[in-house]
Amino acid sequence: MGVVTVKFGGSSVADAEQIRKTKDIVMSDPGRRYVVVSGPGKRSKEDEKITDLLYTYQKLAAGGKGSDAAAVFSIIEERFIGLKEELGASVDIESALAKVAADLTAGADADYAASRGEFLNAQLIAAFYGYDFVDAAGLVLFDSDGAFLAEETNTALAAELAKHERAVVPGFYGTTPDGSPKTFSRGGSDVTGALVARAVRADVYENWTDVSGFLMADPRIVENPRPVPVISYREQRELSSMGASVLHEDAVTPARIAGIPINIRNTNAPGDAGTMIVSGDAPEAARAGVRGISGRKGYTALRVYKNAAGGGARLLTPIIDAATRHGAAPDFALSAVDAATLYFASGTDATSLDAALEEGLAVVRADETSTTEGVALIAVVGSGVGADPGTAAKVAGALAEAGITSYGACFSVSETNIVVGVADKDYEAVLRAIYAKLAYL
């Protein structure tokens, strides 16, 4: 029997009914021995995540706004006590809550506050399943500067979990050497799930959320996009970096190191097979072709030309150096003998970008430069598509059929992608056109 590490996201553990579903899922496979949970998420669109409430509470408490803080804390308290009662879990959540309130009143920081959602929820869920509760404190390790310690964590987690046949571990946080909680970035319970999977050498890391895995395109743009049954780690990173994010970016690395497939599953549709994320050389990943199409709007494209520059690197290097110094590094940079194009993402701070370009261009002394704002980049991702003229021809055909003339760019920076640049206003139309041409190959 294989060992399965299971991670449930915030919406899967938002209320008692959802937590019951997770128990059914866990109990239906004896291999599901190690469970990582998020804090309770939103029960409806208007609801608030416990993590957000905890951040608010800490801010108010630190700002001396005691009565506002108390009002927020009572919402948190009500949710946890409600969960305990509805689940009939025998755990002293009241004392645990009182300690959180006392610590925060005494000045505990935001990381401590945020970590408590997972800490309390994991205790409740462990009691409800009849599993051991294993705290992430002292096992998921950061150094005193807050840098994550991957190998030390793996050793500590492996040693502790070996002592537990079945356990629930809180996601999202670990501790620094002085024992204070330190969180990963938002959505970080996915990372803990991958760390536990690696530590217990799981056969599969099941990541349960509220969608049945990846879709080939954004369903808000393409009607009824096809699901993606299998994708490689590399392909999923390229898709996620261009907007299709289901999983925290850093969650893939530990699983990839250990060669553990990640299965994205839906707590509300447990019968769906979801998406398997596997290593590129796994036989299931062998099928060449398009896996997904994703994109982002709002890039600024900078084009630079210098007569007899004698190598695009001479144009790119000064600009990238200046941009990096100003915290405005481009997402994509391409060059030819006397020309270069750089793409800066929409989140890039405008003042930093201006300063960087001024410095960089002063070094380059270009003959021509032009900037185009409002560029959307669409990535067509799939093993081998970057080297396949057939796919490139279809992408170009889709652009032509959609009547795109305003801004056009098409390039490939890896064997697994083709990137297309169009004006923001054409983004949806082009994405649909490319999908229609490529999804059914």
Q: How far is the CB of 89 from ligand ASP (least distance, A)?
A: 20
List the one residue from 4, 5, 10, 379 that touches ligand ASP (CB under 6 A).
Answer: 10
Six-digit token string for 376: 């959307």
User: Whose Cβ is closer to ligand ASP: residue 247's or residue 278's?
Assistant: 247
Q: Is 117 in the site for ligand ASP (CB under 6 A)?
A: yes
Q: How far is the CB of 115 from ligand ASP (least distance, A)?
A: 9
Q: Is 79 in the site for ligand ASP (CB under 6 A)?
A: no
| CA gap 129, 409 in Å, rounded | 54
Rg over alpha carbons for the chain, rounded to the nearest Å, is 24
Query: Could you tell me which residues come within 8 angstroms of residue 347 by beta carbon, excluding any fewer than 6 positions away?
Result: none
List the one residue from 171, 261, 312, 330 that touches ligand ASP (CB under 6 A).
Answer: 171
Using CB under 6 A as the binding rule, the residues of this chain from 237 to 276 that contact ligand ASP are none
Cα separation values, 93 from 84, 200, 223, 334, 413, Å: 8, 28, 45, 56, 52
Using CB under 6 A as the binding rule, the residues of this chain from 16 to 75 that contact ligand ASP are 38-39, 49, 51
Q: Is 174 in the site for ligand ASP (CB under 6 A)?
A: no
| CA gap 2, 116 in Å, rounded | 31
User: Whose Cβ is closer to ligand ASP: residue 122's or residue 422's?
Assistant: 122
Using CB under 6 A as the binding rule, the residues of this chain from 390 to 419 that contact ligand ASP are none
- Residue whose CB is nearest to ligand ASP in the complex, by number: 189
Instruction: Look at residues 2, 259, 13, 300 and name the one whose alpha carbon lies nearest to residue 129.
Output: 13
User: Whose Cβ is closer to ligand ASP: residue 195's or residue 395's?
Assistant: 195
Query: Could you tell me which residues come within 8 angstroms of residue 269 by beta carbon, excluding any fewer than 6 positions away?
Result: 212
Q: Are 263 and 275 in contact (CB under 8 A)?
A: yes
Q: Residue 65: left if φ>0, alpha if ψ -120 to 50, beta else—which one?
A: beta
Q: Is 172 in the site for ligand ASP (CB under 6 A)?
A: yes
User: Whose Cβ is closer to ligand ASP: residue 114's or residue 239's?
Assistant: 114
Q: Is 11 in the site for ligand ASP (CB under 6 A)?
A: no
Count other C-beta atoms under 10 Å from residue 316's C-beta.
Answer: 20
Q: How far is the CB of 202 from ligand ASP (least distance, A)?
A: 18
User: Whose Cβ is closer to ligand ASP: residue 117's or residue 330's?
Assistant: 117
Using CA atoms of 390, 396, 400, 406 in order, give the dihedral in degrees to the nearest 10. 180
- Phi and psi, residue 252, nearest 5°: -80, -35
Using CB under 6 A as the binding rule, the residues of this chain from 317 to 376 that contact ligand ASP are none
Using CB under 6 A as the binding rule, the residues of this chain from 185 to 224 that contact ligand ASP are 186-190
Binding site for ligand ASP (CB under 6 A): 9-10, 38-39, 49, 51, 117, 171-172, 186-190
